[in-house]
Amino acid sequence: MGNPFGLSFKQYVGSTQAFDINFAFLYGPGLRFGFDWLWTQARGRHRTVDLEVYMGAGPFVGAFESPCSPWFLTDRCSGGVYAGARAPFGVELLLKQAPLALGLEVAPALALAPEPHFLLDFLFAIRFLL
């Protein structure tokens, strides 16, 4: 829940790296598809859960109908296709009894086409672990 709202699938590659594939519905309305590579910065372990702090980077492509940024009252997009990159920072609670992770994430992003726009994602994430 948050912005964007959608599906996120995470797959670990080793113990400290993972990739996240996401498909999201955005304010506006709009759609976005993205891929993030994530690096674990710290991990706390418990018998039933792990707590993980991560950062990452990745590209995305999407389409807005309008608005285009968090300043939606004054900033309108043309409704075209755009592409860019984002840098997520987050904390997750990894459940050991189910393939799920619960987390909070903030991700500054820059949409580069057709015009440069700053984006800021705030998420409450429920991720399905692959």
Structure confidence by residue, pLDDT tens digits, 52-76: 999 999 999 887 765 555 554 555 5
- Which is higher by pLDDT, 51 or 24? 51
- The torsion angles phi and psi of 42, rounded to 5 degrees, stand at -160, 150
% pLDDT > 70, the chain: 81
pTM of the model: 0.78
pLDDT of residue 119 exceeding 80:
yes
> To which residue do tokens 């015009």 refer?
115
> To which residue do tokens 């940024």 refer?
69
- The number of helix segments (H) and strand segments (E) in the chain equals 0, 9
Q: Model confidence at 1, in pLDDT bands (50, 70, 90)? A: very low
